[in-house]
């Protein structure tokens, strides 16, 4: 099958990751059907493709079934930041379970290969460091983050049950913290939080003492990883993220330095079940799909800050 014959369905295609994936697929001359209910997606992320014969946008909520003829399903639809997924936790759980169930049903009917955008959150507050794909996680079933963490875990379970029962072709990417242009300014993620606060000359809010770590992958690197995984023959879960670990406090200093060095820091209590450390082991991605991040963190931050400046209001 040549590239320009591939017909892709991207759920959550108007969102942060989804819209960057749409850009990549469209730039390769492929056909893209984008589905989004616009809970966190934005039409402006896709406007450059409006009117293009290879692009179609459908407003639809994937908790309801849909039938479209496609070769590939990139299942990214689900609110991914704590503020968003905790605002309606039952809806979040339904999106992960019913949405994935509906997409797998579609994949089975039209014999499409499906990639699930899973998450590092399935590891919970990890007791081993860094996290490799064989780690089973330390996750609360009853906490405020459970709707997302457990939702993604059952989504993975469904995928592999479909693979076993129906021979559905499955790819599962466990995505670690990603940042870059098109993040929402109110989504509560730490990179966008700090940038928005700094641009407004407000103190930067740090939860806990700032010693907790995250590993941030620039969005173009992450999309390259997704693309390589989908086009590989590897069907087990794969971590995609940047193994370069940084404390939240150090991140705040980096952003202050780039926007306004005089800003103060404001400490708040750590939220429930907030992971202390997060760092992917990407040995598998390096070995199987020859992938590792290439964008320098400072350059990625510059690009992200410039994006937020452009849309500041």
Read off the pLDDT of each residue in 1-13 and give the average, rounded to a whole number.
80
- pLDDT of 312 reads 62
pLDDT digit string, tens, across residues 11-39: 999 999 999 999 999 999 999 999 999 98
- Number of domains composing the chain: 1
- pLDDT of 2 reads 46
Residue 190 in domain: no
Residues marked as catalytic: 148
Residue 289 in domain: yes
Residue 263 in domain: no
Residue 267 in domain: no
Residue 52 in domain: yes
Look up the CATH number of the domain holding residue 13. Answer: 3.40.50.720
Q: Which domain holds residue 79?
A: 3-181+218-243+278-294
pLDDT digit string, tens, across residues 71-93: 999 999 998 777 777 888 999 99
pLDDT digit string, tens, across residues 137-174: 999 999 998 999 999 999 999 999 999 999 999 999 99
Residue 85 in domain: yes
pLDDT digit string, tens, across residues 246-299: 999 999 999 999 999 999 998 888 776 577 888 999 999 999 999 999 999 999
Residue 188 in domain: no
Residue 103 in domain: yes
59 neighbors 38 (Cβ within 8 angstroms): yes
């Amino acid at each position: 099958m040549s590239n320009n014959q591939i017909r892709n369905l991207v759920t959550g295609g108007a969102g942060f990751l989804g819209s960057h994936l749409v850009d990549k697929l469209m730039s390769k001359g492929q056909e893209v059907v984008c589905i989004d209910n616009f809970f966190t997606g934005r039409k402006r992320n896709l406007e450059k493709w409006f009117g293009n014969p290879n692009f179609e946008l459908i407003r639809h909520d994937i908790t309801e079934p849909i039938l479209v003829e496609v070769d590939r399903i990139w299942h990214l639809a689900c609110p991914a930041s704590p503020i968003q997924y905790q605002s309606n936790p039952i809806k979040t759980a339904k999106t992960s379970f019913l949405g994935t169930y509906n997409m797998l049903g579609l994949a089975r009917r039209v014999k499409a290969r499906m990639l699930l955008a899973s998450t590092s959150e399935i590891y919970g507050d990890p007791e081993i460091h860094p996290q490799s794909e064989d780690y089973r996680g330390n996750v609360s079933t009853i906490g405020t983050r459970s709707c997302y963490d457990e939702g993604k875990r059952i989504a993975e379970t469904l995928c592999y049950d479909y693979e076993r029962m129906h021979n559905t072709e499955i790819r599962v990417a466990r995505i670690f913290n990603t940042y870059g242009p098109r993040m929402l300014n109110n989504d509560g993620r730490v990179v966008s939080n700090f940038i928005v606060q700094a641009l407004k000359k407000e103190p930067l809010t740090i939860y806990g003492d700032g010693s907790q770590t995250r590993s941030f992958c620039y969005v173009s690197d992450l999309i390259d990883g997704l693309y390589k995984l989908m086009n590989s023959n590897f069907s087990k879960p794969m971590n995609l993220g940047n193994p370069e670990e940084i404390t939240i406090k150090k991140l705040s200093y980096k952003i202050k330095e780039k926007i306004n060095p005089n800003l103060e820091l404001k400490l708040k209590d750590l939220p429930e079940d907030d992971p202390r450390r997060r760092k992917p082991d990407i040995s598998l991605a390096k070995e199987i799909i020859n992938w590792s991040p290439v964008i320098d963190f400072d350059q990625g931050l510059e690009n992200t800050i410039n994006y937020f400046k452009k849309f500041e209001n």
